[in-house]
Structure formats: C-alpha cells, structure tokens
Copies of this chain bind each other. A is one copy, B any other.
Amino acid sequence: MASNENNAQAPMFKKLALIGLGLIGSSISHAARRGGLVGEIVGSSATAATRDKAVELGLVSRCHENPADAVEGADLVILCAPVGAYKGIAEAIGPKLGPGAIVSDVGSVKAAVVRDVSPHIPDHAHFIAGHPIAGTEQSGPEAGFAELFDGRWCILTPDADCDRMALAKIESFWQKLGSRVEIMSAEHHDLVLAITSHVPHLIAFNVVNTAAHLERVTDSEVIKFSAGGFRDFTRIAASDPVMWRDVFLNNKEAVLEMLGRFSEDLVALQRAIRFGDGEALERTFAEARSVRRGIIQAGQDTAAPDFGRRKPS
C-alpha cells in the first residue's frame, strides 16, 4: 500500500501523461496523488466534456485533445482509452516520446495491444503492457477513486527482451498505487481473462437482453423482481459498451474457445433438468460453491451478507 512517507521523497516520475480519463485513468490520478508518486499529471481525451471535467476535478493540470501534446516531456505515459483507439494513439505519440520514457496501458486484452502499440514506440523509450484487474460498472472521469486498486492484482505482460529497469519501475509504481503485481505472457493473460472477465461479461450482457425481449414477462416485472439474482448480472452488464466491444474484437480466439466450453457445459445442465437428474444438478452446484470459498479466502471479495446493500439508497 502507498504510504504518506512517499510525499516527503522525490516522486517516482516527474510527469505522468494519462491518455484517456475514464474510470481507470481518473483512479490512477487519485491513487498516484495519494501516494505522492508523480510530480505533474497531464491528460488527453478525445471528448471535450471529459477534458473540461478532468481539469475541473483536478485530475490533471492540463488536458489536450491530441495525445501527442500530452506526452511531451512525460517520463510515464499510460494509455487508458478503449483498446480499439490504441493504434492511432501510438502512431500519434511515438515521435514525441523522450529518451527513457516508459509507456504502459490498462487495456483488458494484451496480445492485440502489444501488436498495435509496440511498432510505434521508438528504441529510446520502453513499452510494458499492463492490466489492473479492478473496476466498477461506472465510467467517466467522475467515477474514479483512489482505493480502486488496493489489494487487487495488476498483470504486466512485458516482452521477453524488455528493459529490466523499466519493468521494475512500472511494477513498483503499481504496487504503490495499491496493487499486487503478477507477470505473465500476453497470450496467457488473454486466456485467463477470457474466462474470468470477458465471457462473464458477455453472458451478463446476453441474459439482460434476453430478459428485455420477452413477450410474456414485462420489463417492469424484470426490474421489480431483479433481487432474485438478475440484478447481479445487470451490474456487470452496465459496464462501458465501447470498451467491451473492443475487448471482444481483440480477444476473439480465447473468448470463442471459452464460450464453446461454457455452452457445452450448459447443454449438459439443460439435459439434467430435462430428464430430472437431481443428483447431477446438486453435485454441479456444490462444486461451484467451493470455488466461491476460495475467492473469499484470497481476499478478492467479501462474505458480508447482501454485500453492503442492506440499506438500499
């Protein structure tokens, strides 16, 4: 965890450029200031309203439309835009990156990001792709908060021949933002995230839409009686549509593989229901329950009943 002692020391980076200021970009700003990790923070956003809001909230001292303007003089650049925009951003900022500058990102897919960004990073700078596994269903510059990364994992997927000093520095930066850091290949990241994040989101989006298109059950009934389980799906289905579009377009193979397995398993359960095989159902459900225990023991969720929803606002 970041401690206040950092404030008294020289910051790790003199100038941080955040390219994109949504939930993750704004949370990095809050957490970096909390830890005294950076001198100046500047930003860039394609959206005028976001630029105004980011300055108004004090997330950045200046916010540029063109990312190339934001990275000048920056020793740390973090791409926090939807991954579909990375290629254009990398092309724009490449020529402006100074010697020793570290470029990283927070995208939910990694192989496609390495493919799109690496070719545009000059030899005197360092690109180390990353992905903090943290989020809420909120988006935009007002959604960020300093605690978002506390106790969560951040995965870094450096190339085999990356600069070791740069890797150590970005690893330390994420630790001081509150995260634990794990290093793996971009390909393995994409496989792990396909099942722990991408397929769950796709399924959540899908069940919400299936419910919305029923003829014999009204939308208002779906909403009224959502506390039976459905509301948990709508929560993850409320995440940013553009960000998720880009995730699925850029992690196609792993997602299709995991979806295939999911559908196979679902057909087996469907069959057990059709033929009244109670034993198979109970066994399957009990198995799933034990995975939950592992997550609580690992500190990645809380066991509190109703998850802080006792007094709905």
Contacts and interface: CB of A to CB of B under 8 A. Distances in A.
B235 A232 contact: yes
Given A199-B207, A207-B199, A228-B196, A223 B294 contact: yes
Nearest to A228: B197
A85 interface: no
B313 A265 contact: no
Taken together, the copies of this chain in the complex come to: 2
Contacts of A166: none
A304 B143 CA distance: 10
Main secondary structure of the interface of A (DSSP, over half): helix
A47 interface: no
Given A153-B227, A214-B195, A241 B285 contact: yes
A138 interface: yes
B245 A291 contact: no
A310 B308 CA distance: 10
Contacts of A148: 306
29 contacts: A133-B227, A137-B292, A145-B310, A147-B311, A148-B306, A152-B227, A155-B225, A191-B217, A192-B217, A192-B222, A193-B228, A196-B222, A203-B266, A204-B229, A205-B285, A209-B265, A210-B261, A210-B265, A223-B295, A226-B301, A227-B301, A241-B286, A242-B282, A244-B281, A252-B276, A301-B309, A302-B309, A307-B307, A307-B309
